[in-house]
Chain A
Amino acid sequence: MVGLGHSRGRGKGYMSFSIEAVGIGKGENLPPSILQPTPLFPPVEHKPVPLVMGEEGEYMLALKQEFRGNMKNLPFYVRPAISKKDVERYSDKYQNSEPSDNTIEWNPDRGSWFSLMIGFCPFLSVTDTSLSTRVDKEEIIHNLEVGITLEEEVTSDEEEGEKKKQEEEQQDGEDEYDEEEETDYIMSYFDNGEEFGGDSDDNMDEAVY
């Protein structure tokens, strides 16, 4: 309303309406016009009310913090697949990394809404491109990011599941050298050497040649 004077006027303070109507008296000191955005943390004239912290408030506070902590451990806390490493190492390809999230334990009930989400392929690891069937079986056991197995597999494999497990246990005994993928090297080939020298606190009486 005050700005109307700019477009109209010659003469200082000419406005299209009488100022008395709005309540500004004649010759009164108006507050200075604002030239910049208001500060980010404006000074507070009145102190805010102190927090109400009774027994109830403290109990709810504890509940809240506990709840937050518990949620971090549940399978619903989805962590991104890639953990940041400082340097990429060749041995990373052949070493097990920790399972990055706990969705292994969570199996949304297939009888309810999940089966009706059309177009929803079951969870498969993105790097699941192995060809040989033997490695497939091992991957089902060793797969770190298993969320849900295929429905057909479950129905058809339920009877054979026990037999297969026994077979695979036997195979595991043989395959202790190449675990994950088909390599020609034993796992100690890919050691970083970080565990070397850890035993140096032992018996120093014997000389090392």
Chain B
Amino acid sequence: MTAQEVRLCGLLLQEHFGEVVERIGTHLLRGGAQNLRTIANETNTPLDLVKKSLCVLVQHGACDFGSGRRGPGSPVEYRASCERVLRVLRYPRYIYTAKTLYGDTGELIVEEVLQRGHMTMSNTVKTVADRLTHNMEEGRSMEYSEVVSAFSKLVETHFLQRCPPVAEMGTAATSTTPATPSTPAAPASTAPPTAEINICYTLACCVCVAGRGKRRRSSDDSEEQRGGKKAKMDSESCGDEGIYWLVNFERFHQHFRDQAIISAVASKLDQTSSEIVRTMLRMSEVTTTQTAAYTQPLSANEIFRSLPPNYSISRPILDQYLSLLVDDPVGADSPPHIPTLTIGRSIAELTLDQATLESVVQERFGSRSARIFRLLLRKRHLEQKQVEDFAMIPAKEAKDMLYTLLSENLVQLQEIPKTPDHAPSRTFYLYTVNQLPTARLLLQHCYKTVANLIERRLFETKENKRLLEKSQRIEAILASLQASGAEPEQLTEVEEMITAPERQQLEALRHHINKLDSTENQVDETVFLLESYIFSTKTK
């Protein structure tokens, strides 16, 4: 956990869960595993607030608990996970992806589960159906069964998964296990891990399927009461208490990675080849694990059969495309002597990461520095003179650019001595780019950038707090006046309470905040690419 990561996590926690949770969360992130008393004492927070914050963090999966260091008798220790908190930045992307894949229903399901951390299926179905009904026209309502089918599709494609059962913590915990409701598929921790993975994606057998979404009517109190009682009965009859579902971030990440590969192929080759790559990736979606370096080997026949029907290309053309893809580093790979193709995910990651680094250098230092950087990436080690020659840049400027890159730590110097005494006049000094450390450096820069953006946005909001409150109050007054049926003169009078320069200021503020927010989203895309590259090299 670097300082930048902790700072960003703190800001994200503050925005979504409040200051108390932020204080506890950053304390845990900085200090490692701690027990309840230590946290309360060191953060000077009352004990019940600490408990509440820890509950919130555990609910959202950001905090984990386990038995203390001193053995089973010591108090429970809590550990926060930096990585999980940073995922909060990517929530809009997850929700939008669910929308593109499964429509509005899928989008709302994922949004509800993300907001609540983890939820039972019946709860989710009910809430989503109510929300959809609320947005529909009068007289129509959303059937539970439609929401349930969308939910099942999400589970089948592994986008949602079950919460892993809590491991038992010594003999003291066994007395509480009889109290847990009898869930048919919750195994004890002694079950083999494969069984756990199998039930990760199995739906609960008994879920209340029948029902429709309820429209919230403020005027109809009696119906509310009856509806409320009915809802309570429904939740009691649904037998899936204790089975919680959460969003499977890894599966979303795999989807994003595949999208990146497909769009890279599309921009480098053409649309048809990207469709072929998309087909290959889809065929190996659930068969290969996410961290595998290569997808499942596929023969050309299989690919031909699985192509989408509207892409009717003949067999010889497909073979030509496949041979093109084999030549391309981002595209497919063909193991020797075996007539199959796989897509090298890790190689694709490497190439994508290289492209990211190159574009960063280009935007910050200009196209000629980018040329030098690309040269060093391809040729590994070059001397000063060779750099000038290959890049075709005059010596003085090349020197200048190289030193700028060196001072920014994007390029490193490697010394190769000719003599054992490392005399400088008899040593080669070679310039090189180490891809992994450079990616890490840029990732930290990205975290710092996002943290700065959030802080700036909070600052802007705080500066104009008075103005924002005034505009909110006026909107509330306008809404209440309109609801009670007022004349247009009254409305204009109220509207004029905000002067024109104030309106301009408000408009500018809204524009700034929108810009900062969308910048955060965009930086997160770069963060994703860098993170997945670093992770893929770590697991090798």
A residues in contact (CB < 8 Å) with B: 16-18, 21-24, 45-46, 48-49, 51-53, 56-61, 63-65, 67-68, 70-71, 74, 76-81, 103, 108-121, 123-126, 145, 147, 151
Taking CB atoms, residues of chain A closer than 8 Å to B76 are 117-120
Chain B, 429-448, CB within 8 A of any chain A CB? 429
Known: A18-B425, A113-B58, A119-B76. A67 touches B115 (CB 8 A): yes
Q: Is the CB of B423 within 8 A of A17?
A: yes
Q: Is the CB of A123 within 8 A of B111?
A: no
Taking CB atoms, residues of chain A closer than 8 Å to B19 are 80
Counting chain A CB atoms within 10 Å of each CB, the highest count among B92, B517, B521 belongs to B92
Taking CB atoms, residues of chain A closer than 8 Å to B365 are 45-46
Q: Is the CB of B172 within 8 A of A112?
A: no
Count of A-B contacts judged by CB separation below 8 Å: 157
Main SS at interface, chain A: loop
Q: Is B283 engaged at the interface, CB distance under 8 Å to the other chain?
A: no
Shortest distance between the CB of B48 and any CB in chain A (Å): 6
Shortest distance between the CB of B228 and any CB in chain A (Å): 14
Shortest distance between the CB of B127 and any CB in chain A (Å): 12
Considering the chains assembled together, what is the distance between the CA atoms of A110 and B399 in angstroms?
Answer: 66
Q: Is B1 engaged at the interface, CB distance under 8 Å to the other chain?
A: no
Q: Is the CB of B241 within 8 A of A81?
A: no
Q: Is B206 engaged at the interface, CB distance under 8 Å to the other chain?
A: no
**B498-529 interface bits toward A, Cβ cutoff 8 Å, 1 = contact, 0 = none:** 00000000000000001101111110000000
Q: Is B18 engaged at the interface, CB distance under 8 Å to the other chain?
A: yes
Q: Is B419 engaged at the interface, CB distance under 8 Å to the other chain?
A: no
**B382-411 interface bits toward A, Cβ cutoff 8 Å, 1 = contact, 0 = none:** 001100000000010001000000000000
Question: Which residue of the partner chain B has the closest CB to A47?
Answer: B363
Of A78, A113, A116, the residue contacting B49 (CB under 8 A) is A78
Known: A64-B520, A118-B173. 17 other contacts (CB 8 A): A18-B424, A23-B399, A52-B522, A67-B114, A71-B115, A76-B17, A79-B18, A80-B18, A80-B49, A111-B241, A113-B166, A116-B166, A118-B172, A119-B36, A119-B75, A123-B52, A151-B179
Considering the chains assembled together, what is the distance between the CA atoms of A52 and B365 in angstroms?
Answer: 21
Considering the chains assembled together, what is the distance between the CA atoms of A56 and B263 in angstroms?
Answer: 16
Chain B, 188-210, CB within 8 A of any chain A CB? none
Considering the chains assembled together, what is the distance between the CA atoms of A149 and B242 in angstroms?
Answer: 19
Q: Is the CB of B364 within 8 A of A46?
A: yes
Q: Is B366 engaged at the interface, CB distance under 8 Å to the other chain?
A: yes
Of A61, A71, A81, the residue contacting B16 (CB under 8 A) is A71
Question: Which residue of the partner chain A has the closest CB to B425?
Answer: A18
Question: Which residue of the partner chain A has the closest CB to B46?
Answer: A126
Considering the chains assembled together, what is the distance between the CA atoms of A39 and B410 in angstroms?
Answer: 20
Taking CB atoms, residues of chain A closer than 8 Å to B242 are 109, 111-112
Shortest distance between the CB of B158 and any CB in chain A (Å): 22
Q: How many residues of B contact A (CB 8 A)?
A: 68
Taking CB atoms, residues of chain A closer than 8 Å to B241 are 109, 111
Considering the chains assembled together, what is the distance between the CA atoms of A46 and B370 in angstroms?
Answer: 13
Considering the chains assembled together, what is the distance between the CA atoms of A24 and B483 in angstroms?
Answer: 77
Q: Is the CB of A76 within 8 A of B518?
A: no
Taking CB atoms, residues of chain B closer than 8 Å to A45 are 365-366
Q: Is B416 engaged at the interface, CB distance under 8 Å to the other chain?
A: no
Taking CB atoms, residues of chain A closer than 8 Å to B395 are 23
Q: Is B180 engaged at the interface, CB distance under 8 Å to the other chain?
A: yes
Q: Is B53 engaged at the interface, CB distance under 8 Å to the other chain?
A: yes
Q: Is the CB of B59 within 8 A of A111?
A: no
Which 7 residue pairs across A and B have the least CB separation, nearest first? A17-B424, A60-B92, A63-B92, A64-B92, A111-B180, A23-B384, A18-B425
Q: Is the CB of B169 within 8 A of A116?
A: yes
Q: Is the CB of B424 within 8 A of A63?
A: no
Q: Is the CB of B52 within 8 A of A103?
A: yes
Considering the chains assembled together, what is the distance between the CA atoms of A111 and B305 in angstroms?
Answer: 49
Known: A21-B429, A60-B96, A71-B17. A48 touches B363 (CB 8 A): yes
Known: A70-B115, A111-B241, A112-B244. A78 touches B166 (CB 8 A): no
Taking CB atoms, residues of chain A closer than 8 Å to B65 are 113, 117
Taking CB atoms, residues of chain B closer than 8 Å to A119 are 35-36, 75-76
Taking CB atoms, residues of chain B closer than 8 Å to A111 are 179-181, 241-242
Question: Which residue of the partner chain B has the closest CB to A145?
Answer: B48
Question: Which residue of the partner chain B has the closest CB to A64?
Answer: B92
Considering the chains assembled together, what is the distance between the CA atoms of A69 and B8 in angstroms?
Answer: 19
Q: Is B87 engaged at the interface, CB distance under 8 Å to the other chain?
A: no
Considering the chains assembled together, what is the distance between the CA atoms of A78 and B58 in angstroms?
Answer: 14
Considering the chains assembled together, what is the distance between the CA atoms of A11 and B320 in angstroms?
Answer: 70
Considering the chains assembled together, what is the distance between the CA atoms of A67 and B263 in angstroms?
Answer: 28
Question: Which residue of the partner chain A has the closest CB to B244?
Answer: A112
Q: Is the CB of A21 within 8 A of B91?
A: no
Considering the chains assembled together, what is the distance between the CA atoms of A18 and B429 in angstroms?
Answer: 12
Of A18, A61, A70, A109, the residue contacting B518 (CB under 8 A) is A61
Question: Which residue of the partner chain A has the closest CB to B362?
Answer: A46
Shortest distance between the CB of B400 and any CB in chain A (Å): 9
Chain B, 12-55, CB within 8 A of any chain A CB? 15-21, 35-36, 46-49, 51-53, 55
Q: Is the CB of A77 within 8 A of B18?
A: yes
